[in-house]
């Protein structure tokens, strides 16, 4: 189910962009011993009165973190899955127990088998079977299978498949079979956007489509060629050589990037390099809260 955008689809109120709050429910690192961390990602978004859960981590740990952070997951209206890897989908079944009427937005390829292969050793990284079963147990109309841009509500949506125009900076050893015969380009990788009058906020899970491809496509479909960009999420650069990261940063200077909040699979090296060239680089962690207020 794809809904293509009309021009000037902008999130706004009479007072301007509504209040936006993003809470990191789970991330690779935590600065608070009372909050769990894991190799995974889950974000809670409050956009005006809308409540969105973006990804569900590698386990159910994000749920306990949510309680400590004062987040009521039963209020979830939308669950967005950035792609079908386990570290973004493992908590889906428990999330649906708390919010059984939430609508789920995901690409059809999110549920296919997939593997990471390093030194001829295959590792299964698919969506867990418990999460797939949970999808079968809810009403069909709650599930939105999007392969292209989908609009959640005014000024907010997800990209669906992101075309690959630029070469990747990160070498990805992902396959659809354990023998490594079918390359997985991860077509289900999608980015969420919040298109305000004065800024474009992009939220990525792992950005497997590539940072430049993601920026180009999201700018295109939102009709936002000149707006300041706030880039939040995993950028999958943790295994990328330093020279490739530095080349990427030179390319990123062509965009109007106001803020970068890297996390999860971005890696410390890339995050440190970003902070050298982009003044407003903020390293996120479990429990981190970012707000836009008017």
Encode pLDDT of 89-129 as tens digits.
999 999 999 999 999 999 999 999 999 998 889 999 999 99
CA-to-CA separations, 37 to 71, 97, 130, 286, in angstroms, rounded? 17, 22, 21, 6
Has residue 55 been placed in a domain?
Answer: yes
**Domain membership of residue 201 as a residue range:** 20-292
Has residue 10 been placed in a domain?
Answer: no
Say how far residue 128 (Cα) sits from the centre of its chain.
Answer: 18
Has residue 215 been placed in a domain?
Answer: yes
Has residue 4 been placed in a domain?
Answer: no
Residue 7's pLDDT is what? 54
Q: How many CB atoms lie within 10 A of CB 174?
A: 16
- Give the tens place of pLDDT for each residue, 217-266: 999 999 988 899 999 999 999 989 999 999 999 999 999 999 999 999 99
Has residue 3 been placed in a domain?
Answer: no
Q: What is the CATH number of the domain that holds 70?
A: 3.60.15.10
Has residue 245 been placed in a domain?
Answer: yes
C-alpha torsion angle, residues 176, 177, 178, 181 (rounded to 10): -100
| Nearest alpha carbon to residue 283 among 292, 40, 273 | 273
Burial 234-254 (b: 16+ CB within 10 A, else e): bbbbbebeeebbeebbeebee
Q: Using CA atoms, how far apart are residues 35 and 289, in angstroms rounded to an integer?
A: 13
Has residue 65 been placed in a domain?
Answer: yes
- Give the tens place of pLDDT for each residue, 22-74: 999 999 999 899 999 999 999 999 999 999 999 999 999 999 999 999 999 99
Q: Is the pLDDT of residue 163 over 70?
A: yes
Number of independent structural domains in the chain:
1
Has residue 259 been placed in a domain?
Answer: yes
């Amino acid at each position: 189910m794809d809904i293509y955008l009309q021009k000037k689809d902008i999130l706004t109120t009479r007072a301007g962009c509504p209040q936006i709050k993003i809470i990191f429910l789970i991330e690779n690192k935590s600065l608070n011993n009372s909050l769990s961390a894991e190799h995974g990602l889950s974000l809670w978004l409050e956009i005006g009165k809308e409540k969105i859960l973006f990804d569900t981590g590698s386990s159910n740990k994000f749920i306990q973190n949510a309680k400590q952070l004062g987040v009521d997951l039963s209020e979830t209206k939308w669950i967005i899955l950035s792609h079908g890897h386990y570290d973004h989908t493992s908590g889906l079944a428990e999330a649906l127990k708390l919010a059984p009427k939430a609508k789920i937005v995901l690409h059809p390829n999110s549920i296919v088998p997939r593997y990471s292969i390093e030194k001829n050793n295959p590792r299964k990284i698919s969506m867990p079977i418990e999460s797939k079963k949970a999808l079968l147990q809810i009403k069909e109309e709650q599930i939105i299978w999007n392969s292209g841009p989908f609009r959640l509500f005014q000024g907010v949506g997800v990209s669906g498949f992101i075309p690959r125009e630029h070469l990747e900076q990160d070498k990805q050893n992902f396959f659809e079979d354990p023998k490594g015969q079918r390359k997985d380009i991860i077509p289900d990788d999608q980015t969420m956007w919040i298109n305000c009058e004065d800024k474009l906020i992009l939220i990525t899970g792992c950005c497997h489509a590539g940072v430049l491809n993601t920026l180009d496509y999201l700018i295109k479909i939102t009709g936002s060629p000149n707006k300041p960009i706030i880039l939040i999420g995993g950028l999958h650069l943790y295994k990328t050589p330093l020279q490739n990261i530095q080349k990427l940063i030179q390319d990123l200077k062509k965009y109007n990037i106001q803020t970068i909040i890297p996390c999860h699979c971005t890696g410390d090296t890339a995050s440190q390099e970003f902070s050298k060239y982009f003044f407003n680089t903020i390293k996120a962690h479990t429990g981190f809260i970012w707000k836009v207020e008017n």
